[in-house]
Structure 1
Amino acid sequence: MTHEVRSAAVGFHSGELAVQQRAGVGARAAQLAPMASRGRLGAGTAAFLASSRLAVLTARDAEGRLWISPMTGESGFLRVATPTTLHIDGELPHGDPLAGAPTDQTVGVLVIDFAARRRFRINGQLRQRDSDGIEIDVGQAYGNCPKYIDPSAQPTADPRRPDRTRVFTGTELRPEERELIGRSAAFFLGTTHPTSGNDASHRGGPAGFVHATTGGLCWPDYPGNNMFNSFGNLAVDPSAALLFVDAGTSLQLSGTAEVVWDAEQSDDNLRTGRQVIFAAQRVITTVR
């Protein structure tokens, strides 16, 4: 499997615009268009990144498969080298599917602090990875609202221990993975677009809002910021990756996802009529 490498585009792409129109929020989304323009990392963002201890990275492995991976460290492991360059100290551990992922590809980064209920999104180009860490050229950079960030969903693993050991590799969920998913109040979603690149986002809800099915997973779509970055990507490319982090366990899934627009949902207060169905093709579980 091969994919042409391109620099991340900026601004809303055709998939995002189409989904915004279908959801009836085109006018409101247009007001947010400047957020999707080329971004810079200012002093306030630099301070937030420097204090953060958890980021997630969406990229493709050497075979072209999409994954989303956790990256942790002590405060300071994320550093703004220049207003358009993010430096990440350290490297993904050997057991992670993105360990050794090729450079010169687009990546999506989400930095999140559950306790402070803050998150920041960076999309750009993976330019360098060596013993000094990972360097990313910034394309888009903007904050997301705190909606659905539950402080109790904060992973409890020690960020000073980034190494992980792979304990399971397969194509289907085991009972252990289903149980972890069933108690989760948050997960991370990786999506991609052929010209706008890879993206990482957070999804939160009441514990158990993600349901394991025979073929994969499903979850309701809750009202959000009306930008529809993830759904816009899925409208063009169904490739998707999921990450669940619980204490010292990381569950990573790679597969495809589709949006169902007229789904039945049980929570009337959060009803949008949309649901996401994910079909898992690869499953990896690692522990610390």
Structure 2
Amino acid sequence: MSNLEITAASSADTFADTPFHSGERAVQQRVGVLEKMATRGQLIRSFMPDQHRDFFQQLPFMIVGSVDRRQQPWASIVTGAPGFVTSPDAGHLAIHAPLLPADPLQQTLVEHAAIGLLGIEPHTRRRNRMNGKVEKSDAAGWTLKVEQSFGNCPKYIQARRPSLVEDADAAAPVVHRSGQLDSAMQKLIAASDTFFIATAYFGKPVDESAVASTANNRQHGVDVSHRGGKPGFVRIDDEKTLTVPDFVGNFFFNTIGNLVEHPRAGLLFIDFVSGDLLYLAVSAELIWDGPEVAAFKGAERLLRFHVEQAIRVEASLPLRWSEAELSPALAPMGSWQA
């Protein structure tokens, strides 16, 4: 009931032209949308449309997913004045920004690394995704080659506006590392209405003998996504365990499908008042049904995370945020409180 094992979807020949890998298709099959989603693969492109290119270039921050040498995913954030991201052509993004102190990207951002990007503008509830590979990296920044580009709906995004703060004389942030959640980490999580999740896929292409396009070549990929809920929607079961409801989405099942194949994830929590960042490396399990799922109104399933590494960096993020306007999509959803 609570493990990630799931029967694989139909034959590779049937899905030779789909951008969805075996884990994503298996979950689509489980929930009854496999055939429907086979016709929606064209929504995932191997290039960025102009509106996506323009969108990325206007943002003051982006969320980044990467993996370390142990195949552990991490979720990170990069930030700068709008324009710190440029798009020289429809197949590339260039990021010109220093990495934040203690951010896992300090170790994972190397040439040819798989990267997932989420461009999100909370106050307009717009978001676009891009997954690709690092083509080059140096002191000036790094360039990504697009492999997959697609949009996301505005569901579950809390509307808050970021603004950059500059403090060139600020001391190096204090970094706290642990194998479990200390009281300050738990306090940050308990108040959160948003987090970001990075996952990875290490399988084979749909058809090794005839990979028709870059979008189908899913030998190795990273994805990073947004999760939103009412404050406290991430339940702290103990200092090593978190439980989160998974709401209905676009049926791509990028995150869930990756976890079926590789049950590890990276989580990023942001304190929108202080600028503290909390990076978590976790193992994951899915709870597909049962009384716990039924008890949370609106939950399609639950995600349970087991903390393996935790890094909290005080006042690391040079952004501050307006008060949040809760997503109207969350109004009918439940909470862990009675």
What TM-score do the two structures reach when normalised by structure 2?
0.76
* Paired position in structure 2 for 1:120: 128
Letter in 1 for 2:277: S
The alignment status of 1:276 with 2:303, answered yes or no, reads: yes
* Paired position in structure 1 for 2:229: 205
* Paired position in structure 2 for 1:5: none
SS in 2 for 1:213: strand
CA RMSD in angstroms comes to: 2.1
* Paired position in structure 2 for 1:255: 282
* Paired position in structure 2 for 1:92: 99
Aligned pair partner of 1:55 in 56, 62, 87: 62
Q: How far is the alpha carbon of 1:39 from its aligned partner?
A: 2.3
**Residue by residue, what CA displacement relative to the aligned partner does 1:251-274 show, whole Å, maximum 9, x if unpaired?**
000121111101424343x132x1
* Paired position in structure 2 for 1:3: none
Q: Conserved in 1, the CA contact under 8 Å of 2:18 and 2:41?
A: no
SS in 1 for 2:154: coil
Q: Conserved in 1, the CA contact under 8 Å of 2:60 and 2:164?
A: no
**Residue by residue, what CA displacement relative to the aligned partner does 1:100-129 show, whole Å, maximum 9, x if unpaired?**
423211110101100010111000001222
50 and 160 in structure 1: CA distance in 2 versus 1, 3 angstrom threshold: farther
SS in 2 for 1:95: coil
- Superposition pairs of residues 110-149 of structure 1, within 5 angstroms: 110-149=118-157
Task: State the identity as a percent.
Answer: 34
The alignment status of 1:227 with 2:233, answered yes or no, reads: no
5+ long unaligned stretches in structure 1: 1-8
SS in 1 for 2:42: helix
Report the Cα distance in structure 2 between the residues aligned to 1:256 and 1:71, rounded to whole angstroms: 24
SS in 2 for 1:20: helix
Q: How far is the alpha carbon of 1:28 from its aligned partner?
A: 2.8
* Paired position in structure 1 for 2:164: 158
In terms of Rg, which structure is larger?
A: 2
* Paired position in structure 1 for 2:87: 80
Q: How far is the alpha carbon of 1:244 from its aligned partner?
A: 0.5
SS in 2 for 1:27: helix
Letter in 2 for 1:180: L
How many residues were matched structurally?
275
**Residue by residue, what CA displacement relative to the aligned partner does 1:178-237 show, whole Å, maximum 9, x if unpaired?**
111111111000000002411100011111111112232110110100110111001110
Letter in 1 for 2:270: V
Q: Conserved in 2, the CA contact under 8 Å of 1:74 and 1:159?
A: no
Report the Cα distance in structure 2 between the residues aligned to 1:178 and 1:109, rounded to whole angstroms: 26
Aligned pair partner of 1:178 in 157, 181, 186: 186
**Residue by residue, what CA displacement relative to the aligned partner does 1:147-174 show, whole Å, maximum 9, x if unpaired?**
111114x5x5736569972420111001
Q: Please state which structure has a larger fraction of its residues in strand.
A: 1
Q: How far is the alpha carbon of 1:32 from its aligned partner?
A: 2.1
